[in-house]
Structure 1
Amino acid sequence: MSDVTPVTLLSGSLGAGKTTLVNHLLSTADDTDLAVLVNDMGTVNVDAELVADGSELDVDDGVAELSNGCICCELQDDLEAAVVRLARDRSFDHLVVEPSGISEPAPIARLFTTESRVAALYDVDAVVTVLDTPLFLDQFSDTETPERRGTDGDRPLSDLLVEQVELSNVVLLNKADQCTDDELTRARSLVGGLQPDATGIETTFSAVEPDRLLGSDRFDATAIEELPGWKRALSDDAVEHDNHTEDHDAHTHPDEVYGVSSTTICRHQPVSPAQFASFLRGLPTTVIRAKGTVWIAGNDNRITVSQAGPSIRATTQGPWIATLPAVDREMYRSNRPDLPWHEEHGDRRTELVFIGTDYDETAIETGMADTFADADAADSPETHPFPTDDGEEVIIKAP
């Protein structure tokens, strides 16, 4: 065994088929000695028991378990201790980490890539997301299906699904046998729009050749924050528009491969919060992702807006640098020489990307244009839903 062990990180909603995939890999990866770490949200680690049952292993023989928490957040220290202990006590070729279905993959990946005792022992091979494809499609359909919608904890399911796909190297479109050809085509398009570089594999009962997942060397630690399609669209737009020193109402990036297009809008101008909230609530279901930074009239805080299907959230991200005292402003600017800066408005701007399939781009452009207001305009906080305090988050539209 080499000094550094490859690790595959799994993500996916509850019931998508992650545990089935783990058992499949344990039973078919004959040439690879796997270690598995599983995590469930209950006091009894059901997933660990299922892995053990499916692989004819005892829970303490090749399977280390963390229970009663999510390994991406409150049990982060336990995860670090568990993977270090595994590397110390056992000899294996590859580690598979299966977190709870409500886990975000990015914090887990960072544990394995930042300077730590874990990063010295492991190297992330790939982030694999297992999709319950019918459920995934339900989140972005025109038809309400209340029994399948909802949240995991306080997090809208559609929002979590989108972020899991955005940070993936490989996406398993599982339960493909429950979908029509048209539905699978739509699912592939949605995945491609959210994460253009991900490899999509259609599966039934999570059956996939182990060598398509293990040893693929798909993960790039330096690109983890730049993987999503929405970030790429904004980045491409920044190059084309001279770092946003000039305003533009809209710029569209068609994707001929996936049939998905993205529209970016950037202005050094605030939006009327009431009108902007109305615009967001009226987004068509064919817009699967919208995200960016918004200048709210009368608000000195940067607002990040994140839409995933039927879910829309807004979060304050601290003050605009242009609103700080002159000494602080110049210090921040000297530390960030690439910061887009407008002669009059500084870094204050509205910069959004919309990603979707067959949506009316003109309607998006016109709708956004109607939300822009004068720089000194302001609405009373009582008349709109956007947050005003630093670190505050609000739900603009719930699924």
Structure 2
Amino acid sequence: MSRDRDTIPVTILSGSLGAGKTTLLNHLLTGAGDRDIAVLVNDMGDINVDADLVSQNTDLAVDGGVTELSNGCICCELQDDLETAVVRLARDRDFDHLVVEASGISEPRPVARLFTTGSQAAARYDVAAVVAVVDARQFHDAFGEAGAAARRGETDDGARPLSDLLVEQVEFANLVVLNKTDLVTPDELDAVEEMVRALRPDAEVVRTEQSRVDAETVFRTRYDPATADEAGWKRTLEEDAHDHGGEDTAHDHAHPETVYGVTSITDRRRRPFHPKRLHAFLADLPPTVVRSKGTCWIATGADQSYTMGQAGPSVRMTAAGPWIASLPEFEQDAYRRNRKNLEWDAEWGDRRTELVFIGRGMDEKALVAALDDCVLTDEEMTADWDDFENPFPTETGAEYVVVEPTMER
């Protein structure tokens, strides 16, 4: 699809930790039709798990994968990196639409401001849509008892609750994707939509499970001029500029760790987990862990890599495919030639665990110690791994639910 203007439309995806942004992004890439889509993914931890999950669905991004900005949020300390990345994309790549997936602790306002207020990026892009992906269960748990969604301000420890970020993301959106509707009752879902519409009356609201949204609903190449002038996100930016006397406020923003008390813990290791002990650990994650995700090496005997994803009370494990090191040597060589940044161990090849835990008030020492208890002992390393009790799937693509919230209808 050729562009009819010099500027490139950009869609900004925001949403809470684990709301379903990456799943939505993958749906957009597979349903893009004749659009050429470039992607930029931001993740809070220093392992960009989301970038790995979407890279297989686009061949347009920088360096053979998606453009990724890690270990921070693009709404503050990575703002300059974001501008550099999108300007480079516009200069070096020919594509029709840019999708920016912000991390779950990023506020959408500073991200949209970059594309609208006198920057190099603003000269090359137009904001086409700001999408908020809302976890319906999480939203109802946060505001359902009160019957209205509102900011609560600082807590006793001086940080703002994450529910304030939910409000910020919805208020700034012009499209709200109410996701995980299967985890709430019909009455609860109606209540969530009513609260969302009270926050952003003119936004389009779509209900969905597994972030399954028609790509045409999300890809808005341009608004009609009259509609664009009235878009909620645009009015908010204009109000910001008026309140600050027209000054650029792109960096007038606090780090989310300070504002919301959110931190991340990264765990890397080259020894596999015992499947039964890892299952027990994942089934009883501390409530301070809001979101966790990554790649696991599990001693299942199948030599499969596994992708773990946790959002609140929901924990799932997916058999992602064989380790490259388990393939015939000629296939290993081909993969390694095409993936120059692949970390390769002399003994174990690409077999490894890389996990990121995101939350508030997490006890890092206790968490790492619990993971240490899950790895194989020296004696278990030499045992037959097929003999271990294993609840996880061994067929590529199969998903296993470790924990899922129950709901009475």
Task: Report the TM-score when normalising by structure 1.
Answer: 0.52
Deviations 1:249-290 (A, max 9, x none): xxxxxxxxxxxxxxxxxxxxxxxxxxxxxxxxxxxxxxxxxx
- Secondary structure (helix, strand or coil) at the match of 1:139 reads helix
Q: Equivalents in 2 of 1:156, 1:176: separation in Å?
A: 23
Question: CA separation in 2, counterparts of 1:165 and 1:81?
Answer: 27
CA distance in 1 between counterparts of 2:183 and 2:162 reads: 20
2:180 to 175, 183, 190: 175
Letter in 2 for 1:77: D
Identity of aligned residues (%): 60
What does 1:330-345 align with in structure 2 at a 5 Å threshold? none
Q: Kindly provide the amino acid, as one letter, of the partner of residue 82 in structure 1.
A: A
2:200 equivalent to 1:195 = yes
1:176-234 CA distance string (max 9 Å, x none): 12222111111110011000001000011111111111026355488537459xx9xxx
> 1: distance between equivalents of 2:197 and 2:222?
20
Matched, 1:80 2:92: no
Contact 2:202/2:232, CA 8 A, preserved across alignment: no
Q: Distance in 1 between matches of 2:222 and 2:183?
A: 31
The CA distance in 1 between the partners of 2:90 and 2:235, in whole Å, is: 30
Say whether residues 1:91 and 2:100 are aligned partners.
no
Does the 8 A contact of 1:195 with 1:227 survive in 2? Answer: no
Equivalent residue pairs, number:
225
- Consecutive unaligned residues of structure 2, counting only runs of 5 or more, are 147-153, 240-258, 260-409
Preserved CA contact (<8 Å) 2:16 2:105 = yes
Query: Is the 2:177–2:207 Cα contact (8 Å) retained in structure 1?
Result: yes
2:141 paired with 1:141: no
For residue 222 of structure 2, what is the aligned residue in structure 1? 217
Question: What pairs with 1:101-180 in structure 2 (closer than 5 Å)?
Answer: 101-142=104-145, 154-180=159-185
Matching residue within 185, 204, 207 for 2:209? 204
Partners of 1:96 and 1:196 lie apart in 2 by: 24
CA distance in 2, matches of 1:158, 1:55: 33
* SS at structure 1 position matched to 2:34: coil
Deviation at 1:19, TM superposition (A): 0.3
The structural deviation recorded for 1:142 is 2.9
Letter in 2 for 1:168: A
Matches within 5 A, 1:1-399: 1=3, 2-53=5-56, 60-61=63-64, 63-142=66-145, 154-215=159-220, 217-218=222-223, 219-220=228-229, 224=233, 226=235
Structure 1: which 5+ residue stretches go unaligned? Answer: 144-149, 232-310, 312-399
Alpha-carbon offset, residue 141 of structure 1: 2.9
- Give distance in 2, aligned partners of 1:205 and 1:60: 29
**What CA distance in whole angstroms lies between the structure 2 residues aligned with 1:187 and 1:92?**
36
Alpha-carbon distance between aligned partners in 1 of 2:110 and 2:84, rounded to the nearest angstrom: 16
One-letter amino acid matched to 2:19 = A
Q: Distance in 2 between matches of 1:83 and 1:215?
A: 19
Root mean square deviation, CA, Å: 3.0
Q: 2:233 aligns to what SS in structure 1?
A: helix
2:177 and 2:211 in contact (8 A); partners too: yes
Change beyond 3 A, Cα 1:55–1:155: farther
| Contact 2:45–2:71 under 8 Å retained in 1 | yes
TM-score by length of 2: 0.51
Check the 8 A contact 1:48/1:59 in 2, yes or no.
no
What is the distance in 1 between the residues matched to 2:125 and 2:167? 27
1:70–1:101 CA distance, 2 compared to 1 (3 A): same
